Amino acid sequence: MIAQLLAQRASDRNPIRVGIVGTGKFGAGLVAQISQMKGMVVAAIADIKAHNARYAYESSGVPAEEIRTAETGAELEDAVRAGKPVIVEDGLALGDCESIDVVVESTGLPDVGARHGFHALSNGKHVVMVNVEADVTVGPFLRRTADAAGVVYTMVDGDQPAVTWNIVEWARSLGLEIVAAGRGTIFYADDFEGTPETAAARFGFSPEHIERRTINLKMFNSFRDGTKAQVEMTALANAAGLEPDVRGMHEPSVNLEEIPQQFSLREEGGLLTRHGVVELANSVADDGETMLPNPIRMGVFAVVRSEHPFTQEDLAYHGCHVGGEGKNFLLYRPYHLVAVPAPLSIARAVLFNAANGSCAATPTAECIAVAKRDLRRGEVLDGGGGYTVVGQCEKAGIAGRDGLLPLGLADGATLKRDVGKGEAILYADVSLNEDSFVLKMRRLQDEITCREQGLYNIGNGPPVAAVRK
């Protein structure tokens, strides 16, 4: 259906016009994939590093002389209408451009992503939010903004939250219960303290590869130190109505065939205290150094449950790994393809006004900031993938009750007391950057949640530290 509709748009010379904010590894890969498609074009790229945007275009076959640079909104509009690929510095300009259909936010910066997403949605543009760091911080507010504007706010196919959501949606549509859903990790013993400098070595990136794929090492270090997996599962939880069973999830070292048993209830010999959770399956053995013989690696999974004996028999007969006393079954994909299938989310938004997974207006999970090492009063936090904090997935109710600082607000916050390694950081522990756009949006989001749930503020902080009236 999508291929046919895109072919028709190509025939009608009316392609879906896409604006992309940020051409790091993901953004550049998306430009490459769209260049091979019919009925969709990258009409404009916004990047503060214009050479990255130009490289993305040229690497996908656009002649250098065809690429325009726009300084004003009028120049941008003229280029898009003329079908000329164009580069701008300001991502907000894409939301203002009348001829752009959808904005893809792929900067990875919570404050920047919140601003771009809100501006585009408010201007009636669909938004594909690659920036999960922004989504887990203010996604519910952005979702409400999209709903009010009659447009789509969606996760991106190819990234693990949306790929897992696809499995969850498929299973639920068939009446299967979700026991646990998540992704694989490759987490070694020393990764928790990883830094941007050591990330390149862990991933085996050469200087040439880093430059050619415009890789942000701080972003990639968030994969190494575990933050990215925690952020992504928070995004999945909020889109699928799931929660972490425990803070940070269990993340056992587990082979593929062991997943449905490990992610069963404790009384069935598993780890879980309840069904309906997000989880991680580590591909590294318990020694923290060697790879397991049959791990899921960077694939995604859902453990589903059926009480019907016919369905149990069919799922087992057709090769699903079994756990939970014969009632739990593993569904999985051994890969996620990042930017390659991302255009499908763009197409669904424009063609069907449908999301590829979107956070609920009221979150179920929060990604909180946890000290990566012993921190001292006066230190300035630097957000995910840096030197000071990691993210951990927690239940939204607990995070709100205890006043835990969301990871997306940590960058630029100054500590008011010493915090030990592994300790969750509180709102009360930091002085926040009051000029931050994402902070202002988050406070509005929390006020709405408190009002809807009959909560009220404690003290002078944001209304996340709240109790029932």
Res 218: pLDDT? 87
Q: What is the pTM of this model?
A: 0.95
Res 462: pLDDT? 53
Res 394: pLDDT? 98
Query: Residue with structure tokens 């318990």?
Result: 286
Q: How many angstroms separate the CA atoms of 335 and 299, rounded?
A: 4
Q: Hey, what are 451's tokens?
A: 């009002």
Res 458: pLDDT? 44
Q: Hey, what are 225's tokens?
A: 């130190």
Q: For the domain covering 365-468, report its CATH number.
A: 3.90.1210.10
Segment-wise mean pLDDT, segments of 10 residues, the chain, 469 residues:
97 98 96 98 98 97 97 98 98 98 96 98 98 98 98 98 98 98 94 83 76 80 93 98 98 98 98 98 96 98 98 98 98 97 98 98 97 97 95 96 96 97 97 95 93 64 44
Q: How many angstroms separate the CA atoms of 164 and 377, rounded?
A: 40
Res 457: pLDDT? 54
Res 189: pLDDT? 86
What is the second-level CATH architecture of the domain 2-158? 3-Layer(aba) Sandwich (3.40)
Res 247: pLDDT? 98
Secondary structure of the chain in HEC code, one letter for each residue: CHHHHHHHHHHCCCCEEEEEECCCHHHHHHHHHHCCCCCEEEEEEECCCHHHHHHHHHHCCCCHHHCEECCCHHHHHHHHHCCCCEEECCCHHHHHCCCCCEEEECCCCHHHHHHHHHHHHHCCCEEEECCHHHHHHHHHHHHHHHHHHCCCEECCCCCHHHHHHHHHHHHHHCCCEEEEEEEEECCCCCHHHCCHHHHHHHHCCCHHHHHHCCCCHHHHHHHHCCHHHHHHHHHHHHHHCCEECCCCCCCCECCHHHHHHHCCEHHHCCCECCCCEEEEEECECCCCCCECCCCCCCCEEEEEECCCHHHHHHHHHCCCCEECCCCEEEEEECCCCCCCCHHHHHHHHHHHCCCCCCCCCCCCEEEEEEECCCECCCCECCCCCCCCEEEEEEEHHHHHHHCECEHHHCCCCEECCCECCCCECEHHHEECCCCCHHHHHHHHHHHHHHHHHCEEECCCCCCCCEEEC
The domain segmentation of the chain, as residue ranges, is: 2-158, 160-187+226-333, 365-468
